[in-house]
Structure 1
Amino acid sequence: MYRLYHNNRCSKSREALALLEQKQLQFQVRYYLDDPLTAGELVALLKALGMPARQLLRSKEAEYKALGLDNPDLSEQQLIEAMVSTPKLIERPILQCDDKAVIGRPVENLLVLLP
C-alpha cells in the first residue's frame, strides 16, 4: 500500500496526488500538517528515505531560521523534534511503500516506487 505525505497548499504535492490518481493506484493520504508524525514515525520515514533528518528539512521556511536549525551542531534528535513540533519544516511530497520512500521533487522521482 502506498502512502502519500501530502500538503494541499503545495503544488508539487498536488501534482503527486494527481499522478497517483492517474495511475489508479490504491493509496492512503496523510495530511501531515493536520496529523503530525510522531518522532518514531519520522525516524522510520527517514530510514525508508535513506537520509538524515537535515536533508528532509525545508531550509527556506521562516521557522527554519527562527528555530536556529541552520546550526550544524544540532543533533539528529533535535532536528527530528523540530519537525515533529513544526511539521511545515518537512519536505514534501513524500511517497512511501513499505520500507522504501522518495521525495517527489521533482514529481518524477515518485516513478521509482510505482509499477
Structure 2
Amino acid sequence: MDVVIYHNPQCGTSRNVLAMIRNSGVEPHIIEYLKCPPTRLLLTQLLDRAGLTVRQILREKGTPFHDLGLGDPSLSDDALLDAIEAHPILMNRPLVVTPKGVRLCRPSEAVLDLLPPQRGQFIKEDGERVIDDLGRRVATT
C-alpha cells in the first residue's frame, strides 16, 4: 500500500500517526511539509479529496494565525491559501494520503481507517493504549 504522510517531526500527533502507519506494516513516503510544503494546487486537490475546506486545515496554535487576522470569516480561500503558502506552519497536520482516502488525522486514531490492520499493540507517546496485542482497537471510555 502506498501511503504519504505530510509530517512534522516536532508534533506528537504526527509522530503517533507515523508510528501507527508503520505498525500496520507500511513504510510511508514522509514529506516534512515545513521543509517541502505541498503546492497550492496539490493542497487544494488534497483538501477536496478529504472533504475539507481551507479554513478547516488551518492551525491556530503555535502559528501566526492571529497575527495575520486569519480568523476573519470574510477572508477568501485564496487569501487563506496565500497565508499557508507564506507560512506552511499554518497547515494542520498530519495529512495522510492512501488508496482508501485522504484525511487530516486529528485525533491520531483517524489514520486507522486508512490503513491495513495493525500488527500488534500500539501505545501512543502519552501512554494511551490504542491497539491491543491482537491488533484490535481498544475501546475508549
**TM-score by structure 1 length?**
0.93
Q: 1:61: how far off?
A: 3.3
Q: How does 1:36-115 map to 2 (within 5 A)?
A: 36-98=37-99, 100-115=101-116
**Given residue 81 of structure 1, which amino acid in structure 2 is its aligned partner?**
D
- Give the conservation status (yes or no) of the 8 Å contact 2:100–2:114: no
Q: Is the 8 A contact 1:59 1:89 kept in 2?
A: yes
Question: 2:31: which partner in 1?
Answer: 30
1:38-92 alpha-carbon deviations (Å, 9 max, x no partner): 1111111111210110000012234001111011110011111111111101111
Report how far residue 100 of structure 1 moved: 2.1
Corresponding residue for 2:8?
7
Ranges in structure 1 where 5+ consecutive residues have no aligned partner = none
- 1:75-112 deviations in Å (ceiling 9; x for gaps): 01111111111110111111112482111111110111
Task: Judging by fraction of residues, say which structure has more helix.
Answer: 1
Kindly provide the amino acid, as one letter, of the partner of residue 56 in structure 1: I
Q: Which has the higher contact order (CA 8 A, sep 6+)?
A: 1
Percent identity between the two aligned chains: 35
Instruction: Give the aligned residue type for 1:17.
Output: L
The aligned length equals: 115
- 8 Å contact from structure 1 (residues 48, 99) kept in 2: no
1:5-64 Cα shifts (integer Å, max 9, x gaps): 000000000101111111111420110000011111111111121011000001223400
Consecutive unaligned residues in structure 2, runs of 5 or more = 117-141
Say if 1:5 and 1:30, in contact at 8 Å, map to a contact too.
Answer: yes
Report the secondary structure of 1:91's partner residue.
Answer: coil
